[in-house]
Amino acid sequence: MKVLFLDRDGVINIDHGHVSRIEDFVFIDGIFELCKYYISKNYKVIVVTNQTGIGLNLYTLDDFLKVNNYMLEEFKKHGVDILDVFYCPHDPNSNCECRKPKPKMFFDAKDKYNIDLENSIMVGDKITDAIAAYNAGIKNIYLINNDEELDFNVLRVKTLLEVIK
Ligand SMILES: [Mg+2]
Ligand SMILES: [Zn+2]
Residue 165 is predicted with a pLDDT of 74
Q: What is the pLDDT of residue 132?
A: 98
Q: Digits of tens for pLDDT over the chain (165 positions)?
A: 999 999 999 999 999 999 999 999 999 999 999 999 999 999 999 999 999 999 999 999 999 999 999 999 999 999 999 999 999 999 999 999 999 999 999 999 999 999 999 999 999 999 999 999 999 999 999 999 999 999 999 999 999 999 997
Which ranges of 23-146 would DSSP assign to H, the alpha helix? Answer: 31-40, 52-55, 61-77, 104-113, 127-135
CATH superfamily label, 10-114+134-140: HAD superfamily/HAD-like (3.40.50.1000)
Residue 14: Cβ-neighbour burial (10 angstroms; 0-12, 13-18, 19+): middle
Separation of alpha carbons 99 and 89, rounded Å = 8
CA 93 to the chain's CA centroid: 21
Res 53: pLDDT: 95
**Catalytic residue chosen out of the listed positions 7, 63, 125, 129:** 7
Residues 6+ apart with CB under 8 A from 62: none
How many angstroms is it from 160 CA to the middle of ligand 1?
13
- Cα of 39 vs centre of ligand 2, distance in Å, is 28
Instruction: Answer whether 0.85 is exceeded by the pTM.
Output: yes
User: Beta strands 2-6 and 84-88: pairing type?
Assistant: unpaired
Rounded Cα distance between 43 and 111, Å, is 17
Select from 143, 165, 138 the least CA-distant residue to 154.
Answer: 143
Establish whether 108 is a catalytic residue.
Answer: no
